[in-house]
Amino acid sequence: LSYTRPSISSPSSVFGTSSAALSSSSSSSMSTTSNSAKPTNAWYQNFLLLPNDTEPTVHNRAYAVPHVLDAAGPIPGSVFGPSSAALSSSSSTSTTSNSAKPTNAWYQNFLLLPDDTEPTVHNRAYAVPHVLDAAGPIPGVRVHPPRVIGEKKVVRVDFVERHGLTLGASAEAAKAKPSGGGGAPLPPLSKRYEVADGRHLTPLGITLKWTDDLMMKGNNGDDESPTSSSGGIAGADSSSVSSFFEMTSPVVRGMPYATVRYRFRPRRGRRNAAHDYNNDNAGDDDDDGDANGDDSPLLLLLPAVVSEIALRSPPLIDGHVELECSSSANDPRHETTAAAGATVSDDVRLTFDQSDFTWLVFFSRPARVTCSENRDGSGEPAFVLRVVDVVVERTKDAPSAYEEEEEDDDDEEEFTVGEEEGDVGGAWGGMEDRGRGRRVGGGGSEEARRLTVRIALSSNCTSGRNPTYCSGGDGGVGNDDDDGSEYESLLRAHSDVYPGPETSVGYDFFTPGTTKEEDGEAKVNEEDDDEGGAPPPGAARVKFDWDARSMSLEDGGSEIEEEEEVEDGGNHLLMFALPHHMDAFADSPSYGGVPDSDSNGDSPPSYAVIPADDDDDDNDHGAPRHFCHFCQPTLTGPACPFFGSTWSYVEPLPTLRFTASRPPVPEMIPTLIDALAKDIDYDIPAHYRRGAGDTYFSGKLLARLGRVLMIGEELRGLRRWWWEEEEEEDDGGGDGGEIGEHSAARDGAESPFLRRERSAAGRHRPDEDENADFPSLPLEYDLSSATSPPSDVDALANLVPSSRAAAADSSDLPPSSSFVSALERLRSGVEVWLDGSAETPFVYDAAWGGLVSCGCLFEGDTGKCRDNVNKDGQMHCPAFDDPGLNFGNGHYNDHHFHYGYHVLAAAVVARFDPEWGRRNFENVLLLVRDIATPFESTGGEGSGGGGGDHSFPPFRHKDFYAGHSWASGIDPSPPYLNGRNQESSSEAIAAYEAVGLYGDAMVRAFTASSVDDDNDGDASLIARAAHVRDAGRLLAATELRSSDRYWHVRLQGEEEDAGGDDDAGTKNGESPSSLLPVPVPPASLYPEEYDERVIGVMWNTMAQFQTWFGNDPFLAYGIQLLPLTAISEERDDLKWTKSMYPAFASSCEESAVCTEQGWSILQLAVLATVGRRSDASERALSVPPESFESAGGNGHSLTNLLWYIATRPNVDDPLPLNAERVGFGHAPGADAETDGVVPGSAKNAEEEAKAPIDEGGDNNDGDENGGVNVDVDDGDCPPCLEEICRGGSDGLGHCPVKVAPYVCTEGPSRGGCSGAPWTVSVEGDEGGPCRGCCKLGPECGDGR
């Protein structure tokens, strides 16, 4: 697994050191470039068109045939510091305390800054509620207050770039230029940044760092990169004062303020001989105090706040003093001396004209500030506020200018977690209390000053003149009260405490209703099940530690005790929470009676509302009156302010199993067994058996066979159970005790599972193949499924015997030999990807830290990968060259989607073959570690055994703040402006389900080994496997919560429970009386203009109703519904599926592609979910076999589809459908009277015949053979040529002749089939789906 990603250099000139000529040393008279002439029209010309001092992009490429090559590969750049091979490894609690780096983080665009280039607007992050970048007019962070724009199929975050406010560093000459000018202009500062430290890349934040060396690179007389330890290099000791100026900014999720910490020595400038600002060059007359005769000028770097638009009114200092600004650098008021300007004790208020924004600027200590304005449009910043000096002496209790306005906070309750230090594990540190004060010297000017400056938007509608934010008062910040004073007061009250650079996420697992002493790691004892081990925990306690720090304690002039805590009261850390956080907060304290406590639930929840005003009689939701005033719109709904240095909430963990919560209904078992008889013989394609090809579809096909095996074993178990019960009854037994146990479970007994173990005698049905040795697995059903009403328990108790009897009565269950053969095919299919023998091998990428597929240039005629060995005999991985190959796996796209399927298949093998599982544990863990490496353990209780994995970043795809994952990785260059994205929320859920199932399988495997061999040595392996299981469950639980909230759309006016549980009062707008009031976000989170029921692709700053592979609505719905596994029942809320089904069915009805590509399989699954099981099962038998081999259906099988339909819970009020239409996409040969969708979504035959046909659609009302019975003009679609008719020409002849004979032969819909002639668009019409077509005749097929 060893592989080194090739480095990419950036020469000063693409032609070498002499940019005037190519090399002239060639002795060959045949050289094209043996002189100064250069190619101008060459096929590789794009390589030559690389400007000096810029990085290559995807435009600098050439088509060498057969490959396209460029030099823009994504390797980590110097943004990670001087050593791009690794971040600082000094921290034992960092997410990146090793060489592995984030590849799918919400702030990934900040990391994708090529070497020696300046940051652009592409290098940004949506921290919520603001967007931040480092591309402002000065080095530093620029804050953009966004607005949320809703359109029919898109929701996006937008802002005006010039309206942002930048907090950073400004360059000033030591003294002003003489009146009249003549001096050289100030040199531009580089805005490049570095990641401050390895500890400062966490799931919640990233800390950026600027130093004098970095900002003045290229302006100090040389072009060398900063390598001196005196340059404030990333990872340097923070107590060092060797650099005269440096600043760091923690960019953290949910922060209302932007924060920059400065460390500098006032009046200490840096000489730059390349610039003579005073234009004197005559002795030491620049009055800098130096005696060395050096007359080069001094350049000062000063803390600054800069705007690109002009102020409306003068800056207001401490609420009452107006600051007079200079108009130019030659203005006498433009001074940078310590005596210039005015002293600010608390804050400066800035109001801008063009944006109508008002900002507050806060300081950790009194500072002298000056300001300048530029209104001549010369390109200089329109407004600059500079800090020219800081006041050293300030006592901690210095009065505030707003003291009289602030309320007394003495009685305010402290809302922090009630745990001891290190109580919450989850590894990866950050669990100890933060916010320590730092000892700061109070000495003279030679010592380094420390200053922290924060900026916050207090209003985006100050005067009501900005229609973008003020329209209807919707989405305004701080403008719901009369003058914005309430929100400003809130910001002032909480301005001192900021989120630090070492934020962290932790978790521990527990069983609700138990003490921590009763919980614990999985272990083996007499009471444990011989196979299952200790029962898994029922919940996880998730904790966000914001690393809260007080800027006044850290930077204050008086001596502060080093271990002094951050003060509480009015200065609690203020952060914004998203809708799913508020859902979790509201639910957590009532879950098991243990909000955040070891035992009795006495400690308060670790959050608080702002402000705590419980006396509002008009409060409809139990939330404080002012919450709606202070919440701000975000892409995914309102974000509301909470305070507390830590947040914690309880996340119930799903019970993962291969079976559904109930057995298949008895009436479908014979049909299910018939399908199983065919699917059990499914053979994985030969090239995938050799490990040749992509990792996505290969994984889907492996998982497909694994699902078939598990369904078959469930049916074998039902039949085996029946015969065992019959024999037990003959012996005077019976199953009354079983049913009695189930009744007890309904009444509150601990065990909610109906579990049937293999009998000791291993009895089999008499006609079963006794010569084959195939293991039998326990049979488990859940009697207390969260998705089933209580009445379902009785129904389930009655269903089980009936299903068992149906299985026993069936005589066609495949023999055990078929199962043995299928397991062997699956075992070898999984192994080839793990043992290094695959033709498309996995390699370890040491540059970023991950397991990636080398890639396969698949040759269809040979069924093999093109040779991956280059002419030097070295392995060449095409996946690194082509970011589109294998869906971008080599660039860290979609790893959880791909590897989840492989891990699921491995889990199936390990369940049937525990010895194989134990033998291949570490190999499978490579896949698991790549997508689900846990946080590093600090050794504290509850850490779950997470170990410091130095090879992979923790939980690569998961954004714990957003709750869901990001699929896209480190491409392209420049990065997408909208940041990371994820398309299939359902495949992310399934990936984490697979991780949990694999961990569970390995707990069983290691437990059985320990018991059988009396071996205590497997205890550590059991603990590791248990952590894999529970980490998978936690990842799945958080993905379920956020997917249902943000991908499953409820429209305006549908103020129903977002989770679909009518009994969940906290989600129906009413908080339980036992809780603190928590705002309940509406079910509808998106603007009313967006009227679709699902999100197809979620980006950091945009949500779209489309997919990467097409815009048809059924694609957007379908990609959020696959695969069909047991966890899908928790994924797909009944109310949402009822609301989305009509649109899904209508879209599928209108396109033959829906069935041909397998997407109608998912429509049938939803049809069963909404209560139409019999309709769905009938139509499932009409799905063409080819649908299960297509892109949308090849991970499914008829067996799995029928199983899913047969195991759906009963629905009391099924979705009403037209009596003659059951909602199904095109099924060739189907009875036309049963085709259709819900009422109102399809025309009857007479109306359809008269109606125009949509482009790309087809008329689905046909004759008894499913053919089109409407006379249509063939239009521009002539008969197809023989080449197409016979199936050649890239398979264009695959269309079903009787149903959809019209083939698109050119254009975006090439290969598409239609029941009506395509509307052929004219050349150049980008909106048209088809630019050429033909019609297949009867001679072209055999009734297809």
Nearest alpha-carbon partner for 250 in 487, 502, 605, 493? 502
Provide the residue type at 945 as one letter: G
pLDDT tens profile 297-314? 567 889 999 999 999 999
Q: How far is CA 760 from CA 749, 757, 843, in A?
A: 26, 9, 45
Amino acid letter for position 487: Y
Per-range mean pLDDT, top range of 713-727, 977-991, 1301-1315: 977-991
Q: Residue 186: pLDDT band by 50, 70, 90 thresholds?
A: low
Q: What average pLDDT does the segment 27-48 reach?
A: 67
pTM of the model: 0.77
Per residue in 480-528, pLDDT (tens digit) is: 555 568 899 999 999 999 999 999 999 999 887 654 434 443 333 333 4
What is the pLDDT, as a whole number, of residue 1298? 65
* pLDDT value of position 586: 82
User: Which distant-in-sequence residues (6+ apart) come within 8 Å of 736 by Cβ?
Assistant: none
Do 289 and 268 contact (CB within 8 A), yes or no?
no
Query: What's the DSSP call for residue 1293?
Result: G
Query: What average pLDDT score do residues 727-738 get?
Result: 42
**pLDDT value, residue 605:** 40
Asked if residue 399 has pLDDT above 60, the reply is no
> What count of residues does the chain have?
1344
Give the best-scoring range by mean pLDDT among 22-36, 267-281, 834-848, 1207-1221. Answer: 834-848
Which of 1186 and 1230 is assigned the larger pLDDT?
Answer: 1186
User: Do the Cβ atoms of 470 and 979 come closer than 8 Å?
Assistant: no
pLDDT at 94: 36
- Other CB atoms within 10 A of residue 701 CB: 24
Pick from 87-91, 236-240, 1174-1178, 1285-1289 the range whose average pLDDT is largest: 1174-1178
Does 1048 have pLDDT greater than 80? yes
Residue 154 banded pLDDT, cuts 50, 70, 90: very high
What pLDDT score does 866 carry? Answer: 83
pLDDT given for residue 1064 in this prediction: 35
Nearest CA-CA partner of 77 in 27, 126, 112, 107: 112
Mean pLDDT of the chain: 73
Q: pLDDT at residue 579 above 80?
A: yes
DSSP-assigned letters across all residues of 601-636: --SPPS--BSS-----TT-SSSS-TTHHHH-EEETT
Cα 513 to the center of its chain, rounded Å = 32
Higher pLDDT, 846 or 90: 846
| Between residues 71 and 703, the one the model is more confident about | 703
Q: What pLDDT band is residue 478 in, cutting at 50, 70 and 90?
A: low
pLDDT number for residue 872: 65
324-361 per-position pLDDT tens digit = 998 865 555 555 555 578 999 999 999 999 999 999 99
Q: What is the pLDDT of residues 740-789, one digit of tens each?
A: 333 333 333 333 344 444 433 333 344 444 445 788 887 878 755 444 44
Does residue 614 have a pLDDT over 70? Answer: no
At residue 53 the predicted structure's pLDDT band, cuts being 50, 70 and 90, is low
- Residue 638's pLDDT is 93
Residue type, 651: E
Supply the DSSP string of 1041-1106, one letter for each residue: HHHHHHTB---TT--S-TTS-TT-GGGTT---TTSPP-----S--S-TT---SB-SEEESSEEESS
pLDDT in tens, 639-695: 999 888 999 999 999 999 999 999 999 999 999 999 999 999 999 999 999 999 999
> What span, in angstroms and rounded, lies between the C-alpha atoms of 614 and 604?
17
pLDDT of residue 347: 96
